[in-house]
Structure 1
Amino acid sequence: MLTRIMCIAIIFSILFALMSSLGINQIGGQATALDYGYSLLMLALLISLKKDHNRFTLVLTTFLLISFLLSLSALVTVFFDEFRAIWFYLLILVAFMLGGPKSGIFFTLLSLLAIIATHVFLAPFGTATLASIVVGLVVMSLVLAAFCSQVNRYLQHIEKQNAELNYLANKDPLTEVLHSKSYCQLTKKYIERAQELNENLSILYAGLDNLDRLKEKYGSQIRNLALQHVITIIKEHFHHQELLTQVGEEKICIILPERDAIAAQSLAINIRNAVRERLFDYGKDKIPLTLSIGIAALNDNDEEIRSIQIRADKGLIKAKFCGGDEVKICHFFEELSTEKL
C-alpha cells in the first residue's frame, strides 16, 4: 500500500508542478520547485523500498517527514486559507493507515503545532478558518484512532483464530502430536537436509505392549489416554529438533535428526525404561505399561522417508516378537536379506 500511495504522491506533485510551469495553476515558483524536488525524493524512496522491503519502517517514516515539510511549505506559501492546511489531512490519514495510532497521533500534534505557530508568527488565518482546521484535525484524528484500535483488535482476533486453526490442522488436540500430512512434509525436509549435508538421521517406531488386553479390561477409551501418557514421557526426552506423530491407532513414529542408530538406540532405551518405571494413573488404578521400539537409520540408498519407516516398523515387530519391552534395530542389510527370502 505504501508504494501505491507514494506513486500517487509522485504523480500529483508532478502534475501540480507542470500545471504551474504551464501557467494553468499559479502556485508560485518556490512551490513549483518544491513539488519537483518532492517527486524526485519520493521516487528515490520508492526505488529503495522496492530493492529491500525490510526498509518499510524507515521509508515510511522518511516519507511522512518529507510530506510534513512539504505541507508546512504550503502552509506558508499558499495564499488561500482553504488550501493552506488541506495537505495535513492527507498526511494524518496516511500516518494512521500505515504507521498506526502512535504515528497518527504524533503527526496530528505536529501538524497542529505547525498550524498554530504559522498563524501566530508568519501568516495568520481567519479566526473561523483556524478554528475549523483545528477542530477538523482533532476530530479526524480521534475517529482514525478509534478505527485503528478496532482494526487492531480484529487482526489480533484473526491471528488467534489462525493460530488455533493451524494447531488443529497440524496437531492432534488430544495427544498434541503432528498429523501425518504435516509430519510427512517436515520429514521430507529433514531427510533432504540430512542427505545434502551428509548428516545422520534415525527413526523410532514405538508401540505399547499388550494394548488389546488393556482395552478388554478397561475399555477402548484407555487407548488414547495410555498413548497420551507415553507421548508425554517421550517428549521429556526431546531436545528441540525431534518430530513425533501417531501412525494408525497404536504406533508412535519419531524422527531424530543428527543421530545414528547407536545414538537413537540409547535414547530409545531411556524412553523404554522411563515408560516402564512410571505407572499410568487410570482412575483408582496404577497400571504398569511397557513399550517396544524399532529403530532404523538413514542409508545412502534411501530416497524417501517411507523406506526408513518400513525398517523401523520391522524393528518394532521384531521387538514385540521377542516378548515386548524391547528395543531392536533393523539395519538396511537386514531388510535386503528379508526381501531375498
Structure 2
Amino acid sequence: MFSAYMWFIHWLVKRLTAFIDHLVHLDQQANYDELTGIRNRANFDSISASVFDFYQTRQLPVTVVMFDIDHFKQFNDQYGHLTGDQVLKHITHLFEQRLLKVTSHGQLFRYGGEEFVILFRGLTASDVQKIMVSIVQYGRQTPLVVDGQSLNITVSMGITALQPTDPDFNTWLNRVDKALYQAKQQGRNRVTTEKTTQTFDD
C-alpha cells in the first residue's frame, strides 16, 4: 500500500513538473523573442497601458527609446542571413549588458525586425540620452568580428519622455517613432531627443 502511494506521489510530481515546464515554455513563446532571447513586441504591448497609467497619474518621469540598426538589409545581402542574425544578437547583448552595468531602470524589447525599444522608468529624456550615448560609444570598442572582418554597425535612435499632455500611450509612442525617423533623415548614426538631433560621433 505504501509503495503504491509513493508511486502515485512520484507520478503526480512528474505530471506537475511537466505541466509547469509547459506553461513556462508557452510564456517564453508568447513574450520573448526566439532569436535574441529578450522581450518581444507582444510583451511590450501588454504592459504599455499599465505603464502609461501609472506614470501619467503620478506625474513621474518615464522615457522611451526606439532605435534600429542602420542599413541592416546590407548585412543580410552582403554577408547572408546568418550574419544578419549575429548582428541582431550582438546589438542585443551589447545593450542588455551595458544597461545592467549603468542602470537598473532600462527594459529592452525587440520591437520587430531590426528595431528595438527600451523603456526607462524613473528617468528623464536627458538622463537616458547620456546612457544611450555611452552604450553606443562603448560598442565601438567591442565590434562584431565575422570571418576576421570587423563590421561597422551603427544605430539611429529616438528618445522622448512621457508628457503631461499625452492623452494615451500611442501618442507617446508615435512621438518617439517620429524622433527616430528624424534621426534617420538627418543622416543616420544619430540620436534625436525631444526634436534635437546629434550624431553619436559628437
TM over 0.5: yes
**The TM-score by the shorter chain falls in which range?**
0.7 to 0.9
- Matches for 1:276-315 after TM superposition, within 5 Å: 276-315=140-179
Q: Give 1:212's aligned residue.
A: 73
| TM-score with structure 2 setting the length | 0.86
Once residues 33 and 13 of structure 2 are traced to their aligned partners in structure 1, the CA distance between those partners, rounded to angstroms, is 30
* Match for residue 327 of structure 1 among 167, 172, 191: 191
* Contact 1:272 1:325 (8 Å CA) reproduced: no
* Contact 1:296 1:329 (8 Å CA) reproduced: yes
Query: Is 1:232 aligned with 2:93?
Result: yes
Stretches of 4+ moved more than 6 A in 1?
none
Q: CA deviation at 1:330?
A: 2.8
**C-alpha deviations, 1:161-200, integer Å up to 9, x for none?**
2111211111011111222222111122212111122211
* Match for residue 149 of structure 1 among 10, 13, 24: 10
* Match for residue 160 of structure 1 among 6, 21, 33: 21
Once residues 277 and 244 of structure 1 are traced to their aligned partners in structure 2, the CA distance between those partners, rounded to angstroms, is 21
Consecutive unaligned residues in structure 1, runs of 5 or more: 1-138, 335-341
Q: Give 1:268's aligned residue.
A: 132
* Contact 2:59 2:164 (8 Å CA) reproduced: no
Q: Give 2:53's aligned residue.
A: 192
* Contact 1:205 1:295 (8 Å CA) reproduced: yes
Q: CA deviation at 1:240?
A: 4.1
Q: CA deviation at 1:276?
A: 2.4
RMSD of aligned Cα (Å): 1.9
Q: Which has the higher helix share?
A: 1
Once residues 76 and 19 of structure 2 are traced to their aligned partners in structure 1, the CA distance between those partners, rounded to angstroms, is 41
Q: Give 1:243's aligned residue.
A: 107
* Contact 1:315 1:328 (8 Å CA) reproduced: yes
**C-alpha deviations, 1:260-281, integer Å up to 9, x for none?**
1111111111122123222112
Query: Is 1:180 aligned with 2:41?
Result: yes
- Answer with 201-210 or 211-220: which moved more: 211-220
Once residues 284 and 161 of structure 1 are traced to their aligned partners in structure 2, the CA distance between those partners, rounded to angstroms, is 41
Q: Give 1:253's aligned residue.
A: 117
Instruction: Look up the equivalent residue of 1:291 and give its one-letter code.
Output: V
Q: Which has the higher strand share?
A: 2
Taking only the aligned residue pairs, the percentage that are identical comes to 19
* Contact 2:41 2:112 (8 Å CA) reproduced: no
Q: Secondary structure at the match of 2:157?
A: strand
Consecutive unaligned residues in structure 2, runs of 5 or more: 197-202
Q: Give 1:117's aligned residue.
A: none
**C-alpha deviations, 1:264-308, integer Å up to 9, x for none?**
111111122123222112233221211221101100121322222
- Matches for 1:7-22 after TM superposition, within 5 Å: none
- Matches for 1:40-189 after TM superposition, within 5 Å: 139=1, 141-189=2-50
Q: Secondary structure at the match of 2:68?
A: strand
Report the CA distance shift for 1:158/1:240 in structure 2 as closer, same or farther (over 3 A): farther
* Contact 1:183 1:244 (8 Å CA) reproduced: no
Once residues 265 and 189 of structure 1 are traced to their aligned partners in structure 2, the CA distance between those partners, rounded to angstroms, is 24
- Answer with 240-249 or 299-308: which moved more: 240-249
| TM-score with structure 1 setting the length | 0.53
Instruction: Look up the equivalent residue of 1:319 and give its one-letter code.
Output: A
Instruction: Look up the equivalent residue of 2:36 and give its one-letter code.
Output: T
Q: CA deviation at 1:241?
A: 4.3
Greater relative CO (CA pairs within 8 A, separation 6+): 2
The structure number with the bigger radius of gyration is: 1
